[in-house]
Copies of this chain bind each other. A is one copy, B any other.
Amino acid sequence: MIRRMSQARERGIPEATVARLPLYLRALNGMAERGLATVSSEDLAVAAGVNSAKLRKDLSHLGSYGTRGVGYDVEYLIYQISRELGLTQDWAIAIVGVGNLGRALANYGGFVSRGFRIAALLDADPEVVGDHIAGLNVEHIDELEAVIRRRGVSIVVLATPAVAAQQVADRVVAAGVTSILNFAPVVLSVPDGVDIRKVDLSIELQILAFHEQRKTDRMTGGPAMAEEWPEAVDL
């Protein structure tokens, strides 16, 4: 027995593809709202800001959901991508650290929109504990393990100061959490099997600055004739 399956799928979607699926999903939702029933790979690619061949290859990893000569059924594709991403189930997330950023995240609508539910806000500062933010009561960090267990939290968002992040990470990992979204500017060390994604505002700015500098260098004389070092290195 050969079990051709539908070409690919059966296991392992490339990481680069996974990172783009949410993008397609957002574009598709916009199209569904505007009442579109089907969409071609070309149109969807433009809406998502990618190359159409890449889009088709990405979708082919999920299965063969298009109709040649027609395109993709918008609603069906939304369902398939949502299912693949795990958004058809309900994810309880906890936000640790209720400073400016934590507050912003708690109020950010995009989280709740699909599949995600903020189940807890935690902070170490007694000044903040007890505040009501986005309809939730801020709880003390001492409750971390209990809250994770009782409310079935499976994803933790770290918005603590840098010095506290590793310590909190150790505790949430010990409590059984294996997915962490880290906003603190530190490299967390966690055991194998724990997924960490890092969002670092300052790094993004530095990358922009690099390119901006290159652009302005090019205007004013060009880098080829700019000095290389304050003093010579090659003798």
Contact = CB atoms under 8 A, between A and B. Distances in A.
Interface of A: 4-6, 9-11, 18-19, 21-23, 25-27, 47-49, 63-64, 84-87, 89, 91, 93, 99-101, 103-105, 107-108, 110-111, 113-116, 154-155, 157, 178-181, 185, 187, 189, 193, 195, 197, 199-213, 215-216, 223-224, 228-229, 233-234
A205 B206 CA distance: 23
A16 B88 CA distance: 34
B206 A197 contact: no
Residue among A6, A99, A209 with most chain B CB within 10 A: A209
Given A199-B199, A201-B105, A155 B212 contact: yes
Nearest to A133: B100
B22 A202 contact: yes
Given A179-B212, A210-B85, A211-B195, A113 B204 contact: no
A58 B113 CA distance: 40
